[in-house]
Amino acid sequence: MKKEEIFKSYQDWIMPTYTKMPLIFVKGKGMKLVDIDGREYLDFFSGWGVANVGHCHSAVMSAVRDQVSKLIHLPNNYFHPGQAKLARELIRWTFPGKVFFCNSGAEANEGAIKLARAYGSQFKDRPKFEIITFQNAFHGRTLATVTATGQKKYQEGFEPLVEGFKTNIPLNDFEAVLSAVTDRTAGILFEVVQGEGGINLANKDFVRKLRKLCDDKKMLLIIDEVQTGMGRTGKMFGFQNYDIVPDVITLAKSLGGGLPIGCMIARNEIADTLQPGKHASTFGGSPLVCKASIGVFKAIQKDKMLANVAKMSPYIFEKLKKLQAKFDVIKEVRGIGLMIGVELNAKGKEVVDHCASCGLLINCTHDTVLRLMPALNVTKRQIDSALRILEAVLRRISHAS
């Protein structure tokens, strides 16, 4: 199809649920995407962090090719080796527990909310059902997860929202959490790094206090690792930066290397709360996506990507701090690993658009925070190339103003 046909097809036949850039991509490899005209772009956004191992990594592609000719889908009332192998790998990297497979981060968080309520219902004298979440959180777009998301803009038009959520708690304010907890509180759901919320980090003392509070009050500590999982923070999972073990974590995005897979992992003590008939997912954990996910784990380990994050993270932060010293428009540089926010004193859309026109793909969240999430195997040369473009764009915008 020609470009004009593609644009018109989207206008005529596809719901306008995304704000789109006028870019049509046809292939990708590693850190590069190629558009319909053959122009290459350096991808420092990675599709909201889906392409942690880069586009079309050989380990993922090999796994998919091997599986797609054998068996693509199988209903979950049968067994298949892919789920068994992937679940074993997930538990090996996390904590003793069990896995529920689904298709997305929203589904994984929906499952965690249901697990928390089912767990809370076992307190017969005073059932627990409330979930505490935080301002600027993002947990998905189902009715329950959009309610859990502490941002009004995502909730408008969908009222009445689901009951039982307390979402107005500032991150890192433990006293506010204490004030919100009641004998009806079943769990606390949060991100160790708020991605959509502007790359806001939970501090270690706060997280450790949440862990103790949940232990004392018999509540579940649920960590949304949809963006922070699979090496993004420099550890395989974000919670491992905090020296605690959660009761539940949720994963998706980068777990499948580009294929749709999500999961919820729960500690052994609570994992059997959801019995047959309590929860399900038709496509969850299919042979194809499980094989792809095993390929992602292989890629991260084979290419020593966690070690690369440990090297590249201080390098890119140092370079960004130097840019901050040059340009007053940069208010703050923050983040962890290769999950980076550059907060501006101005709207970020113009910067994102100019970068794209120069061949660099980044994202803006919360209007003013540039979000950079390159693949975990990014090189110094690629970082230098990306930041040269960003610097040129910031200089152009500064001169224009």
Count of CB atoms within 10 A of residue 171's CB? 22
Q: What is the DSSP string of 322-390?
A: HHHHH-TTEEEEEEETTEEEEEESS-SHHHHHHHHHTTEE-EEETTTEEEE---TT--HHHHHHHHHHH
**Pair of tokens at residue 80:** 């298949």
Give the H/E segment covering residue 187. strand 185-190
Helix (H) or strand (E) holding 290: helix 287-302
- Do residues 336 and 234 make contact, with C-beta atoms less than 8 angstroms apart? yes
Adjacent-strand bridge partners of 32:
29, 42
What's the confidence (pLDDT) of residue 48? 93
C-alpha span between 8 and 10 (Å, rounded)? 5
Q: Is the pLDDT of residue 400 over 70?
A: no
pLDDT tens figures, 38-53: 999 999 999 999 999 9
Query: Using the 8-state DSSP alphabet, how is residue 314 labeled?
Result: H
- Residues 6 or more apart whose CB falls under 8 angstroms from that of 201 comprise 192, 193, 334, 335, 336
Other beta carbons within 10 Å of 305:
24
The pairs formed by 319-326 with CB atoms below 8 angstroms and a separation of 24 or more are 319/383, 319/384, 319/387, 320/387, 323/387, 323/390, 323/391, 323/394, 326/391, 326/394
Residue 401 reports pLDDT greater than 80? no
Which amino acid, one-letter code, is at 358? Answer: C
Q: What's the pLDDT tens digit per position in 154-188?
A: 999 999 999 999 999 999 999 999 999 999 999 99
Confidence grade of residue 131 (pLDDT, cut at 50, 70, 90): very high
Averaged pLDDT for residues 231-244: 98
For residues 305 and 347, give the distance between their C-alpha atoms in angstroms, rounded to a whole number: 33
Tell which residue, 389, 387, 381, has the closest CA to residue 358. Answer: 389
Residue 225: pLDDT over 90: yes
Mean pLDDT of the chain: 97
344 in Cβ contact with 369 (< 8 Å): yes
pLDDT band at 69 (very low <50, low <70, confident <90, very high): very high
Q: Structure pTM?
A: 0.97
List CB contacts of 310: < 8 A, sequence separation 6 or more.
234
Coarse DSSP helix, strand, coil percentages of the chain, rounded to the nearest 5 percent? 40, 20, 40
Q: Which 3 state secondary structure label does DSSP give 42?
A: strand
Tokens of 319: 């370079």
Whole-angstrom Cα distance, residue 174 to residue 211?
Answer: 11
- Domains identified in the chain and CATH numbers: 3-53+304-400 (3.90.1150.10), 59-302 (3.40.640.10)
| Confidence tier at 247 by pLDDT (50, 70, 90) | very high
DSSP E strand boundaries for 229-359: 248-251, 262-267, 330-336, 339-344
Mean per-residue pLDDT, 20-28: 97
| pLDDT of 310 higher than 80 | yes
pLDDT tier, 128 (very low <50, low <70, confident <90, very high otherwise): very high
Sign of CA dihedral 293, 299, 302, 308: negative
Stretch 289-304: mean pLDDT: 98
- Cα 244 to Cα 213: distance, rounded to the nearest angstrom: 13
Three-class secondary structure of residue 119 per DSSP: helix
The pLDDT of residue 398: 80
Determine what percent of the chain is predicted with pLDDT higher than 90: 98
Residues 126-139: what's their mean pLDDT? 97
pLDDT of residue 284: 98
**Buried-state track 106-141, b at ≥16 Cβ within 10 A, e below 16:** bbbbbbbbbbbbbbbeeeeeeebbbbbbbbbbbbbe
Tokens, residue 71: 């068996």
pLDDT score of 399 more than 80: no
State how far the Cα of 370 lies from the Cα of 354, in Å rounded to an integer: 13
